[in-house]
């Protein structure tokens, strides 16, 4: 580029590529289909020992991340007291960017968490301050341990990545949640700007631009962008 420019305009000054600092490119995530999420939960339920707490723990953990868009660190740090099933909400405390937030959850999530809590309390004692998701010994789960289990499940399922990462990741469940939510709003005719503001708050993003990135960074939502631009070009801006 620089050489071509100088060939035709010798007096051209082309800034060095490093002049503006390092660039930042987001890698496209793997957006899970509904069937892939179901397959993951089913495979997690087959973990050993069958009938024990371990398969229930991973099945519920991955299910909650898929249904709420929690970061894996947020799900692992949830305390038992943060899961209020009477009010159908989760309290996510002092996570990324030192923010806390309260998340309403669907009745199906309430039911899954209630069943897990009952099984967990049958196996291990519920102590003050304990994490919600625990091992059979009542210990908090480690991130490395969870990622190892996920890698084994992924291998069994034989998934092929559809994003820029070498393999589908746990974090992609969060991305898939966001994409599904935006698509559902779009199909229901929800005003997109209002929806994106709500989603930004729910996901705990520091900047709303991080939420709007989904519209241009994920192929599944490019149709939404195209339709939005078409309305803009036709002068129908007020309805967006």
Active site residue 205: yes
Give the whole-angstrom CA distance, residue 179 versus residue 32: 10
Q: Which of 120, 169, 180, 205 is catalytic?
A: 205
31 within 8 A of 162, measured Cβ to Cβ: yes
Q: Which residues are CB-contacts of 143 (< 8 A; sequence separation ≥ 6)?
A: 72, 73, 76
Tokens of 154: 């992924």
Active site residue 152: no
Give the whole-angstrom CA distance, residue 217 versus residue 19: 25
**DSSP secondary-structure letter at 90?**
E
Q: Which of 30, 71, 169, 175 is catalytic?
A: 71
Q: Which of 2, 26, 46, 96 is catalytic?
A: 96
Active site residue 228: no
Active site residue 96: yes
Q: Which of 174, 175, 180, 181 is catalytic?
A: 174
Q: Which of 58, 116, 202, 214 is catalytic?
A: 214
Active site residue 171: yes
**DSSP secondary-structure letter at 101?**
E
Instruction: Give the residue numbers marked as catalytic.
Output: 71, 96, 171, 174, 205, 214
């Amino acid at each position: 580029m620089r050489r071509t420019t100088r060939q035709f305009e010798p007096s051209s000054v082309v800034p060095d590529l490093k002049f503006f600092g390092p660039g930042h490119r987001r890698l496209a995530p793997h957006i899970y289909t509904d069937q892939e999420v179901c397959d993951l939960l089913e495979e997690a339920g087959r973990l050993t020992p069958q009938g024990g707490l371990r398969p229930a723990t991973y099945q519920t953990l991955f299910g909650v991340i898929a249904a709420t868009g929690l970061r894996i660190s947020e799900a692992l740090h949830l305390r038992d007291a943060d899961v209020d099933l009477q009010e159908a909400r989760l309290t996510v405390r002092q996570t990324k960017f030192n923010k806390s937030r309260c998340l309403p959850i669907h009745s199906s999530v309430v039911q899954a968490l209630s069943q897990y809590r009952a099984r967990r309390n049958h196996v291990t004692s519920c102590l003050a301050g304990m994490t919600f998701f625990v091992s059979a010994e009542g210990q908090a789960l480690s991130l490395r341990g969870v990622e190892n289990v996920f890698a084994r499940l992924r291998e069994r399922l034989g998934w092929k990545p559809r994003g820029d990462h070498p393999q589908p990741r746990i974090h992609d469940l969060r991305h898939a949640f966001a994409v599904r939510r935006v698509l559902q709003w779009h199909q229901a005719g929800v005003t997109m700007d209002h929806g994106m503001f709500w989603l930004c708050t729910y996901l705990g993003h520091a900047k709303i631009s991080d939420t709007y990135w989904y519209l241009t960074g994920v192929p599944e939502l490019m149709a939404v962008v195209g339709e939005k631009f078409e309305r803009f070009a036709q002068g129908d801006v007020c309805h967006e």
